[in-house]
Copies of this chain bind each other. A is one copy, B any other.
Amino acid sequence: MLNRDRLQKAQSRMRERNIDAYLILTHDDYIYFFGEDRFQPRAVIPANGPPIVVTFQGEEAEVRESIGVDDVKIFGTVGQQIKDVVGTMREMAGNNGSMTVGVQMWFNTPAFLLNLFQRANPKIKVVDIAPVMDELRLVKDEEEVRLIQEAARIAAVGMNTAAAWLRPGISENEVGAEIEYAMRKAGGHGVATPVFVNSGIRSGWLHGTASDKLVEEGDLVVVDVVPRYQGYCANLSRTFVVGPPTPQQQELFDVYRRAQSAGIAAVRPGARNGDIDAAARKVFTDAGYGEFYIPGISHSIGLDFEEKPRPTIHPADFSFKLVDGMTLTVGHSVLSVPGIGGVRIEDTFLLTNGQPQPLTHCNIPFQLPINP
């Protein structure tokens, strides 16, 4: 169902910024306004009046019913869809053809689609919609918090599954399969990023995957899950060792846990995102691991796995001031020490009443049994 409250807030912000329309090409904002996902979401939010959804003729009746908008354009083929979006924009532009259109300029907006649109509409000024949407999406309403809590519950199911399956001789991919399966059986709707099961030397990877590599006794294993529930994400990471840890592995783990705690303690309204980093970095530096610390231990989360502030991608976001009502993670950075491996411990929080309230709950011990 169309969320008229969010629509009106977005339209008000668009008018303040002289943006005539927002061309939605990505899942997150489509879900934000219409409460449901589609495979190739295409919609136009004008600064005034009802939104327009571009869909396929065979889906029109269902779209009308599910989102209840007043004006649904129809397209016959995917090629036609693009033309219809452009045609819709031209109609809105009127005779002179000059207007300002916002587009999400982020990972999920395809370069070719934006280039195509700009070439077909040289009189239309295309701007980044982030100033309208980022701040709007930053503070989560009750319904959004409920969905993220549900995703967090599902994330814990995934992590418990990881701990139950990790053993010498199993492949990362098999463990990943078990995790994703368990999360979907628990009600999840897939994952925002593929599950990471990074074992041994791969535990030090900045990002990850779940490869055919077999887990070995003594491996550090970083598991990172980002399940979705009705579009909303929660992020949970844990690091395990299969069998008894070496003293170095244990120290790395203990230092990370203390650094995460220090980071969490820095989460409060008015603090800057970089303050969380500074608190964690001090722990790593005092323990002699400062040179291995990768800045960007916290990011916001919601319909996107990484929402603004996301300082690992936009360093200016280290200055971003936290506000009550936002959801964020602490523990995003991997501490990767050559010769030992990597550790990551990440949880998702709601900043509420001035305090970080944990949404993810997972208390599995660092050391896993060799034969679970």
Enumerate chain A interface residues (CB-CB to B < 8 A). Answer: 37-40, 56-59, 61-62, 76-79, 103, 105-115, 128, 173-174, 176-178, 180-181, 184-185, 187, 189-190, 194, 201-202, 204-210, 294-296, 312-315, 334, 336, 338, 342
- Contact residue among B76, B184, B210 (Cβ-Cβ distance under 8 Å from A294): B76
Contacts of A174 in B (CB 8 A): 184-185
Q: Assuming A105-B112, A109-B110, A184-B176, is B208 touching A39 (CB within 8 A)?
A: yes
A358 vs chain B, min Cβ distance (A): 26
Chain B residue at minimal CB-CB distance from A186? B177
- Contact residue among B79, B111, B185, B315 (Cβ-Cβ distance under 8 Å from A113): B111
Chain B residue at minimal CB-CB distance from A190? B194
CA distance A107 to B40 in the complex (A): 11
Q: Is the CB of A204 within 8 A of B106?
A: no
Chain B residue at minimal CB-CB distance from A65? B201
A225 vs chain B, min Cβ distance (A): 14
- Contact residue among B39, B185, B204, B210 (Cβ-Cβ distance under 8 Å from A207): B39
Q: Could you pull out 15 A-B pairs where Cβ atoms are within 8 angstroms?
A: A38-B209, A39-B209, A58-B342, A59-B206, A76-B294, A77-B296, A79-B313, A79-B314, A105-B115, A107-B112, A110-B111, A174-B184, A174-B185, A177-B185, A190-B194
- Contact residue among B39, B103, B173, B294 (Cβ-Cβ distance under 8 Å from A77): B294
Chain B residue at minimal CB-CB distance from A39? B207
Contacts of A105 in B (CB 8 A): 111-112, 115
CA distance A201 to B66 in the complex (A): 13
A321 vs chain B, min Cβ distance (A): 20
Contacts of A106 in B (CB 8 A): 110-112
Q: Is the CB of A315 within 8 A of B184?
A: no
